[in-house]
Chain A
Amino acid sequence: MSATCALILAALCTTGESLEKARSFVRQGLLREAEGLLIPLVESSEPADRARVLLLLGNVDYERGLYDRALERYAQAANDSSADDSTATAARANRVLAEERLQRATEIAGLENRLRASLAATLLVAASAIGWLARRTRPPSPGG
């Protein structure tokens, strides 16, 4: 199913049905389709459903490894005044998970940058050493 079909489905279904369908898409790994159903619902759904829509969108971002965006969605879902208890609790729990993942991703990115810097330094040292070795032994010029 394409994202376009998901949009058509969104137009035909009630919010509850769309949410159920979106949940199923997430379980099946069809994230584009789930997102296609959920995005229009952020604005159009009843206040009571908005938090659930945001929670699911957070799950889509989490699956994709977009933890900063997922955190935003979870925060919105948890803080939405219309959120029922179970949605708010799930959003808060997922936020903790996303925070952990984001922290790990940031840590890994920092280590990767350090590795890149070490590589650049090694190349610089190698280039300097080659230059020094070459300068040390200039071949005699043809004239002299």
Chain B
Amino acid sequence: MTDALLLAVAAATGAAVMIIELMAVRLLAPWFGQTLPVWTNVIGVVLLALAVGQWLGGRWAEAGRGYKPTSLLLVAGALSIALPDLVAWLSPATLPGDLSLEEAYPFVTLGSLLVALPVIGVPMAAMGAVAPWLVKLSRDAAQRPGGVSGRVLAAGTAGSLLGAFGATYVLLGAVGSALSVRLAGGLLVLAALLLWRGAARSVAPGRASLLALLVPVVGAMLPSVTRPGSVLDSAETPYQFARVVRDDDGTVLLRLNEGLDSYHSAYRPGSIWTNRYFDAFVVPALLSQAAPDGRRSVLVVGMGAGTMARQSLALDPTLEVIGVEPDAALTTLGRRWFGLPEDLVVHDGLDGRVALQLSDRRWGAILVDAYAQQMYLPHHLCTREFFALLRSRLLAGGVAALNLGGRTREDPVVAAVSATFAAEFDGTTMARVPGTRNWILLGWNGGSLDRQLLGRRLQETGAAEHLDWFLTGDLFAPVCPDASSELVDGDDPVEALADAAWRGRS
């Protein structure tokens, strides 16, 4: 058999491994999110399966019997073509109905592993078993085993490289994650056929493996599970899977990935208010300090579909509100579904920290609502260095506000992030937004909460009735810095703190 064919098969297998590995996380995301534990589970299963496959493949090649490479490629290809269907069928079975974000941690970590083991593990093991066969099938294998195995491994790795870049920069945008995985499966089937043709009977697939080709047909017939709530729109973005849904009370919500009971933007047609945590964040916007030219500006970092920006502007049209949102697709959804004004400037495609670093403009207020992957504050957006940068972008007397999720102030994430924030800002104070699990953290670049000014601004804008708890609720309490729990760049284990928060309550 020609080495060129063997190397082509090795490269195709390597490419399929990476396409499936990268895209599988996205297929799991609508159910389990794409947090660090989910990525770790997928990568762990892929590596374990490849190791097992390589070991078994070595034994089979050495013995000259067992599963032939064409059979392995056919099985891997068929299972990969069916992989999106299998994930969508199995995943909901691991998640209880009406699971809240607060309860979700063990289910998304264990559930993603439980689904990944068979659905991703089996095709990966089959792919892993191919390379030892390719070495064995080379004409030069007996004379130059080192050289042959080196070439096969290099071709596989080069294929993986192509698969990784191709998946991210070409396939995802062109055909989406599900079709990318199916195409990778098709590539494996094609490789099997080429190998069969090139090597004739010595590697002919067994009849049982030909039956594997029926798996995609079965996969297509599996019942699809629909999530509760009416979906108005959805988009697979480079960052996440976004859905626009209508809640029972008529509110339009932006849900990302697993969604559960959480949301990233809300809009009640015809109303400024959402009756959700967003409403509280118009207060710092209203308290925005005026620049010397009299302009009062607000920057929203992590704008999502623009709830806070829209509300602030609706209450006080004299404000200049600008948003930063890394995921441009969310801005599009915001304009289409969330009443985000067309003329509101959004710097999309930019990370919040990078955006602040790139511009030295100073703002009267900066609102940070940058939750990523549902559960986590991005680690680089809750360190002392980030908060120092945030303060440096505030006018004297300007206010920064941070949205924090957690059961109590003792929650490890809430405690660490608020203490870090307090170390950098003046007059830091914090309250739980009534009826939510969200905390609003406020800090000033010189100064503190001016209740008289706040009362006046609430009256002027007609927000007093809706937000009177800010003044009368006795909900705010100062936050003290705590050097022992401060988060700094390079030592910002937000995921570990979230894990500790969950273990602490279980």
Contact = CB atoms under 8 A, between A and B. Distances in A.
B106 A64 contact: no
B476 interface: yes
Given A126-B121, A130-B52, A137-B60, A119 B474 contact: no
A27 B430 CA distance: 11
A130 B56 contact: yes
A4 to B, nearest CB: 13
Contact of B506 (A27, A30, A109, A139): A109
Interface in A72-91: none
Interface residues of A, number: 32
Given A29-B477, A63-B407, A115 B94 contact: yes
Contact of B107 (A31, A65, A112): A112
A122 B409 CA distance: 39
Nearest to B473: A27
A107 to B, nearest CB: 8
A32 B411 CA distance: 12
Interface stretch (B1-9, B110-118, B379-387): B110-118
A25 to B, nearest CB: 8
Nearest to A112: B106
A13 interface: no
Interface string B106-145: 1100110110011001000000000000000000000000
A108 B103 contact: yes
Contacts, number: 81
A41 B103 CA distance: 34
Given A65-B505, A119-B110, A137 B63 contact: yes
Interface in A31-54: 31-32
Most chain B CB neighbours (cut-off 10 Å) among A64, A130, A134, A139: A139
A32 B410 contact: yes
A111 B106 CA distance: 10
Contact of A28 (B106, B107, B121, B477): B477
A27 B110 contact: no
A143 interface: no
A140 interface: yes
Interface in A107-134: 107-109, 111-112, 115-116, 118-119, 122-123, 126, 130, 133-134
A115 B106 contact: yes
Contacts of A111: 96, 107
Contacts of A103: none
Interface of A is mostly: helix
B432 A29 contact: yes
B107 to A, nearest CB: 7
B65 interface: yes
B235 to A, nearest CB: 30
A80 to B, nearest CB: 26
Interface string B455-476: 0000000000000000001111
A24 B59 contact: no
A134 B56 contact: yes
Nearest to A140: B63
B431 interface: yes
B194 to A, nearest CB: 25
B110 A112 contact: yes
Contacts of A138: 59, 63
A138 B114 CA distance: 30
B230 interface: no
> Which 3 residue pairs across A and B have the least CB separation, nearest first?
A137-B66, A28-B477, A139-B62
15 contacts: A28-B474, A28-B477, A29-B431, A31-B408, A65-B407, A108-B103, A119-B117, A122-B114, A122-B117, A123-B117, A126-B118, A133-B66, A134-B55, A136-B66, A137-B66
Given A64-B407, A109-B506, A139-B63, 6 more contacts: A24-B474, A27-B475, A28-B431, A63-B408, A119-B110, A138-B63
Interface of A: 1, 24-25, 27-32, 63-65, 107-109, 111-112, 115-116, 118-119, 122-123, 126, 130, 133-134, 136-140
Interface of B: 52, 55-56, 59-60, 62-63, 65-66, 94, 96, 103, 106-107, 110-111, 113-114, 117-118, 121, 407-410, 430-432, 439, 473-477, 505-506
